[in-house]
Amino acid sequence: MLARARILLALGGVDHPRFRRFVSRACTVCEWEGQTVESPSSAVDCPWCHAPSRIVREELLVPIVAGKHPIAAALSRLGAAAGGRARAQSLSPARRREIAIAAARARWRR
Ligand SMILES: [Zn+2]
2-5 vs 21-27, strand pairing mode = unpaired
78 or 10: which leads in pLDDT: 78
Say what the pTM is: 0.50
What pLDDT does residue 11 have?
46
DSSP conformation class of 25: E
- Cross-strand bridge partners of residue 4: 61
CA of 26 to the centre of ligand 1 (A): 8
Report how far ligand 1's centroid is from the alpha carbon of 69 (Å): 38
3-state secondary structure of 92: coil
Rounded to whole angstroms, how far apart are CA atoms 37 and 33?
14
Residue of higher predicted confidence among 99 and 83: 99
Q: Would the pLDDT of 7 be above 80?
A: no
DSSP 8-class letter at 18: T
pLDDT tens readout for residues 17-68: 667 889 999 999 999 999 988 887 678 899 999 999 999 998 888 878 788 8
Ligand 1 mean position, distance from CA 33 (Å): 8
Residue 100, pLDDT score: 93
Report residue 56: phi and psi, to 5°.
Answer: -90, -45
